[in-house]
Amino acid sequence: MGEQGELAAEKHVRYIVTAEKKKDSFESLVMEHLRASGAYWGLTTLDLLHKLHAVDAAEVVDWIMSCYHPESGGFGGNVGHDPHVLYTLSAVQVLCLFDRLDVLDADKIADYITGLQNEDGSFSGDIWGEVDTRFSYISICTLSLLHRLHKINVEKAVEYIVSCKNLDGGFGAMPGGESHAGQIFCCVGALAITGSLHHIDRDLLGWWLCERQCRDGGLNGRPEKLADVCYSWWVLSSLIIIDRVHWIDKEKLAKFILNCQDKENGGISDRPDNAVDIYHTYFGVAGLSLMEYPGVKPIDPAYALPLDVVNRIFLTKQQ
């Protein structure tokens, strides 16, 4: 590959580490309410690039725990923000990276999530009741990482996810919702973690997913929309889970992702020549990881954490 087709790993590491420190930058302000997720995106990227040690682990763990609400068992997006499952998963994932699950009251967190499961098997995001298959994935993923998946009604959870399956083989946010790659990742990931992939028509969904590849090599999230680097994750991980990733042109996708880099200042954007952000930087690197790009650690497609982190959680003695 020529100079154009290289991953500017050092630049991306510097971009992330600097962004983490600049708490009053524009990007920081815009991200304020979801800083916990920002931490997950940034830190996982660092780990994938073998640079997790570039940040102070103790400092990060302390900050994450300052987002914890001991009364409810959930984490907020930032210090003082109300708890929500979105940030609870991000917090648990960050602690997984640093192998610090010991600081958690796993039972209390499990209770928080269990309390958010509804009668029809769906999950609310928080006490205000919004329902979305994203929250099904988040709840299942979090509990699985904490070895407490059995605390929810798994059968009903799976039932609800399957009710969101559309005729094209894809999944929406709720029954009848348009198939969307992000929602598909959540449903496929959740079904994978719960051992329920037999509910998926792999050939049908695999075809819908591989149809996301556009002429420029990038992937979109729904028919007739533009390619966006984040779908390099949502579509690719889904394809890998259902064992159909060979149905896209991986080389062209890798070229697309690499073209979305800011090779001067670091970071990756949604499409070439746009402004970079932490979110797309993570998804670009994660996508390259799924395609075994040299120098990038392998990532688990269902848990969205480096493979060695996931192995450490599941192959060593349970807590």
- Using CB under 8 A as the binding rule, whether residue 77 contacts other proteins is answered as no
Given the structure tokens 């259902």, which residue do they identify?
Answer: 242
Residue with tokens 């800011």, as numbered in its chain:
262
The only residue of 45, 213, 232, 238 in contact with other proteins, by rule CB under 8 A: 213
Which residues on neighbouring strands pair with residue 124, listed in sequence order?
Answer: 131
Q: Residue 12 and residue 224: Cα distance in Å, rounded?
A: 31
From candidates 114, 196, 211, 312, binder to other proteins by CB under 8 A: 211
| C-alpha distances out from residue 64 to 21, 35, 79, 197, Å | 15, 10, 8, 33
Q: Is residue 291 involved in binding other proteins (CB under 8 A)?
A: no
Work out whether 247 is an interface residue with other proteins (CB under 8 A): yes
Q: Does 176 bind other proteins (CB under 8 A)?
A: yes
Task: Tell whether residue 272 is a contact of other proteins (CB under 8 A).
Answer: no
Tally the C-alpha atoms within 13 A of residue 119's C-alpha that lie toward its C-beta.
0
Q: Which stretch binds other proteins (CB under 8 A): 66-74, 99-107, 171-179, 276-284?
A: 171-179
Structure-token match 């500017």, residue found:
8
Write down the least CB distance from residue 245 to other proteins, Å: 10
| Subset of residues 109 to 138 that bind other proteins, contact rule: CB under 8 A | 125, 128-130, 132
State yes or no: residue 202 binds other proteins (CB under 8 A).
no
Judge whether 169 and 201 are in contact, CB under 8 Å: yes
Instruction: Answer yes or no whether residue 255 interacts with other proteins by CB under 8 A.
Output: no
Q: Which of 5, 18, 90 is nearest to 267 (CA)?
A: 18
CA atoms of 274 and 237, how far apart (whole Å): 24
How many whole angstroms separate alpha carbon 12 and alpha carbon 122? 37
Q: How far is the CB of 220 from other proteins (least distance, A)?
A: 10
Name the site residues for other proteins (rule: CB under 8 A). 125, 128-130, 132, 167-168, 173-174, 176-180, 206-207, 210-211, 213, 215, 217, 222-225, 246-249, 252
